[in-house]
């Protein structure tokens, strides 16, 4: 399977890569899914839109929640922030997926890794602040609150990151009122 995907990537058949992922999504193998994700992420010529879409399909194809799920979400979010800044709603949807996955993992007895939550929360918070400073969009405050909500999912942090982000958010609100 992975050799077939490698051939598709080498031949730059991006649409076929997506079809291939959909075709093999019935195979419930975290190892195979991880290898395919690595191949896609290291494909230098694949356009970022395809990378994001195919990684999302890999993430969605996982039966239930597995240990790779948080890593896929982080990769997709990072790609969205760096390469799809204009598609803010996609970045926000990935953040929502992280929040839902973190909550689902708590109910199943699994743990969403704290380092993944810390990374996503911090990156999302900074991204929202950057957007606000460049566009002054009111939705950016909602995005900051989502980052803070996600940080609450950390187990071993005792709320330190959440508190830090809330303090920064309150300063932002104070700054916003003073500047108007």
Q: So what's the pLDDT on residue 86? A: 64
Residue 138: the pLDDT is 67
**Residue 97: which of 37, 55, 136, 51 has the closest Cα?**
55
| The pLDDT value given to residue 165 | 92
- Cβ neighbors of 15 (< 8 A, separation 6 or more) are none
* Helix spans in the chain (H): 2-10, 14-24, 30-42, 48-61, 69-83, 88-108, 114-135, 139-151, 160-179
pLDDT at 178: 47
Report how far residue 74's alpha carbon sits from residue 49's, in angstroms, rounded to the nearest whole number.
16
Between CA 91 and CA 36 the distance in angstroms is: 22
Q: Note the pLDDT of residue 148.
A: 92
List of the chain residues with pLDDT < 70? 1, 26, 28, 62-68, 84-86, 136-138, 176-180
pLDDT value of residue 66: 57
C-alpha dihedral, 40 to 43 to 47 to 49, nearest 10° = 20
User: Beta-carbon neighbour count of residue 32 at 10 Å?
Assistant: 15
């Amino acid at each position: 399977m992975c050799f077939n995907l490698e051939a598709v990537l080498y031949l730059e058949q991006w649409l076929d890569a997506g079809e291939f992922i959909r075709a093999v999504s019935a195979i419930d193998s975290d190892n195979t899914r991880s290898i395919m994700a690595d191949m896609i992420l290291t494909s230098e010529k694949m356009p970022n839109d395809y990378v994001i879409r195919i990684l999302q399909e890999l993430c969605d194809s996982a039966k239930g929640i597995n240990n790779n799920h948080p890593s896929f979400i982080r990769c997709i979010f990072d790609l969205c922030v760096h390469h799809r800044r204009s598609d803010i709603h996609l970045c926000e949807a990935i953040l929502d997926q992280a929040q839902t996955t973190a909550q689902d993992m708590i109910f199943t007895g699994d743990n969403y890794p704290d380092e993944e939550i810390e990374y996503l929360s911090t990156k999302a918070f900074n991204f929202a602040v950057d957007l606000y400073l460049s566009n002054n969009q009111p939705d950016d405050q909602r995005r900051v609150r989502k980052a803070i909500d996600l940080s609450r999912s950390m187990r071993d942090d005792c709320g330190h990151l959440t508190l830090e982000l809330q303090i920064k958010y309150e300063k932002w609100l104070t700054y916003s009122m003073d500047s108007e």
